[in-house]
Structure 1
Amino acid sequence: MEIDLPLADYDKFLRDLKEHIRNAQIRASLAVNRELVLLYWQIGGEILTRQQQQGWGAKVINKLAKDLQKAFPEMKGFSPRNLKYMRAFAEAYPDEQFVQQLAAQIPWFHNCILLDKVKDAAERLWYIQQTIQYGWSRSVLTHQIDSGLYRRQGGATTNFDRTLPKPQSDLAQQVLKDPYNFDFLSLGKEAQERDLENALVAHIRDFLLELGVGFAFVGSQYPIEVSGKQYRLDLLFYHFRLHCFVVIDLKVVEFEPEFSGKMNFYVSAVDDLLRGEDDRPTIGIILCKTQDKTIVEYALRDINKPIGISTYQLREALPEQLQGSLPTIEQLEMELNTAALEIETDTDTPG
C-alpha cells in the first residue's frame, strides 16, 4: 500500500538525507586521510631514527619497500619513492602534535608537493593553513606555489590601517597582492587600458583565481551617475569575506598621484549609491604597471577612503626563455576541470 506524501515535504526530506550522507562521507574521508598521514609519519620516523642512530644506509629503503609490498599487497604507497617521502615528511615535522593538527588535515599528495616545492618552514605552514581554510585541490595548490602567492599576499601599499577598523583592515590587507600575475594573458607592449580590461573579463575565471577566494564579479565599465553625469568603473567586484564592494581601476602606466584622487571619488560614489546597510566600506584597488613606493605613500597619506596600490605582471613582460615553461590557458582550464576528481586520486600515494 502506497503512502501519499506531500511532494514538498518529501523533497525536503530527501535533500536533508542526501546532505547527511554527503557530510558523513566527507567526515569518513577526512578520518581515513588523517590516519594515513599519521601512519606515514610514523613509518618515516622509524626509518629516520634507524638511519641516524644505527647507521642504516639508503639501500634499506628498497628492501623495506619490497617486504612491505609483499606483506600488504592490497595497500598502495609502499614504493621506495613514497618511503623516501615518509622519511622526509618525518624529518620536516618532528612534532607529532603539529602533524595531527595541521599536516594530517590535508591529503598526502599535498604534503608531498610541499616537501618538493617549499623549503622554508614558515612558508610551508602558511600553504598548509591556506589549503585547510580554502580546500585547495592539488592542482590549485601547485599553481599558488608556482605563482609565489606567499610572497605576494598582503604586499600591496595601502592606507587600510588608517581607514578601516580592525580586524577588517588586517583582512583587507591580506586579500591584496603585489604583484598580480596575469600570465594567462598575452598582450603586446602597446596594449591600452581597455585592452587589458577586455582581456581580463574574457578570462574572468583565471582572473578570479588570481584575485583569490571571496571575489564575485559584478561588472566591467560599470555605470554610476553623480549630479547627472555618468562615470564608468573599470571593474567592480563584491567580496563576500570582507562584505564590501571592491572597485578596480586599471592603468597600463606607472602610478601617478592623481590616480588616488580619482579612486577616492569612485569609492565615495559607490558607498553612497550602491553600498547597503549591512555592507562595509568600499575598497579601491589601483592596478598599475609599476609604482614608486614613496610617491604612493605620499598620494595616500591624506586620503580618507580605503585604497590599495598594486602592480601586475603580464606574460609578455617575462624573459622570452621562460615563457615556454608557463602553462597555457588550455592547460589551466584542464587542471581546473580535473580538480573535482582530486578527492578520489588523493587517497592514493605517489609512486
Structure 2
Amino acid sequence: MLAVAREEKLPSEAKQIIKDPMVLEFLGLKRETSYYEKDLESAIITHLQDFLLEMGNGFSFVARQKRLHIEGDEFFIDLVLYNRLLQCFVIIETKTTKLTHESIGQLQMYVNYYDRTEKQSYENPTIGILLCADKNDAVVKFTLPENNKNIIASKYQLYLPTEQQLIDEVKEVKKEIEKLDQETSNT
C-alpha cells in the first residue's frame, strides 16, 4: 500500500488499495446511538471528500442509490465510485450490522451487472466492497469463490481505538506470532 501511495508502482488488485478496517470517525456519528444504513450513507455523502481520502488513492464519485432495473425488479446500489488507478468501477454496499452471506450475494449481483452492462472493454473488472460494522472472515471465505479478487469485505470503525484497546490488540497479535513461531520450530 505504501509503494502504491508513493506512486512507485501501480496496484494490481483491489486489496492493495482498499483499507480494512476503515476509520470513519470524521462522519460524526455518535458512539452511543444506533443508526440505519441510510444514516451511514448520508454521513458518507456529507463528508464525501474525507471518505474518498480514507478509501485510498484514485477514487472519484459516480452515483448514490444507483437504480438498476433487472427484468421488472428494482435494486439500489448504495454508492458507485470509479478508481482511475485500477481503471474500474467500485461498488460499495453499506451495512450497519455484521456481514452476512446474503449481503455478499447482493453485492456480487451488482458487480456482475456492472461488468456485463456498464464496463467498457478497456476497463478492468468491477470491484465490490461490503462496508460492514463487523465481519466473520470465514463466512467471507466460504461464500466467495477461492479465486475471488473482486469482492472485498471491509470492516469500518466509527472511532479510533482507545489506548487500552490498542494494547490488547498488540498483545493478541504478539500471542499469534509466538504461536506461529512455536509451530514452525516444531516442524
Query: Please, which of 59, 67, 81 is the counterpart of residue 223 of structure 1?
Result: 67
| Separation in 2, partners of 1:132, 1:244 | 21
- Number of residues of Structure 1 aligned to a counterpart in Structure 2: 162
State the AA in 1 paired with 2:18.
Answer: L
* Structure 2 portions without partners, runs of 5+: 165-187
Q: Larger relative contact order (C-alpha < 8 A, sep ≥ 6)? A: 2
CA contact (8 A) 1:264 1:305 kept: no
CA contact (8 A) 2:14 2:149 kept: no
Query: Please, which of 23, 38, 46 is the counterpart of residue 181 of structure 1?
Result: 23
**1:9-158 → structure 2 map (5 Å cutoff):** 129=3, 132-133=6-7
Query: Please, which of 118, 124, 147 is the counterpart of residue 280 of structure 1?
Result: 124
1:171 is aligned to 2:45: no
Structure 2 counterpart SS, 1:190:
coil
Query: Please, which of 207, 212, 219 is the counterpart of residue 56 of structure 2?
Result: 212
* Structure 1 portions without partners, runs of 5+: 1-125, 135-166, 322-351
1:257 is aligned to 2:101: yes
Instruction: Check 1:208–1:304 CA distance in 2 against 1; reply closer, same or farther (3 A cut).
Output: closer
| Separation in 1, partners of 2:105, 2:5 | 38
1:272 Cα deviation from its structure 2 partner: 2.1
| Separation in 1, partners of 2:116, 2:44 | 27
Question: 1:198: which partner in 2?
Answer: 42
Task: Provide the alpha-carbon RMSD of the alignment.
Answer: 2.7
Query: Aligned residues: percent identity?
Result: 36
CA contact (8 A) 2:130 2:154 kept: yes
State the AA in 1 paired with 2:13.
Answer: L
Q: Deviations over 1:180-218 (max 9, x none)?
A: 010101213311111000000000010011011111100
Query: Please, which of 72, 86, 90 is the counterpart of residue 246 of structure 1?
Result: 90
Structure with more of its chain in helix, by fraction:
1
1:178 Cα deviation from its structure 2 partner: 0.7
Instruction: Check 1:131–1:287 CA distance in 2 against 1; reply closer, same or farther (3 A cut).
Output: closer
Q: Which has the larger radius of gyration?
A: 1
State the AA in 2 paired with 1:174.
Answer: Q
State the AA in 1 paired with 2:66.
Answer: Y
Question: 2:144: which partner in 1?
Answer: 300
Q: TM-score, normalised by structure 2?
A: 0.77
CA contact (8 A) 1:268 1:305 kept: no
Structure 1 counterpart SS, 2:63:
strand
1:222 Cα deviation from its structure 2 partner: 1.1
Question: 1:267: which partner in 2?
Answer: 111
State the AA in 2 paired with 1:133.
Answer: E
CA contact (8 A) 2:13 2:149 kept: no
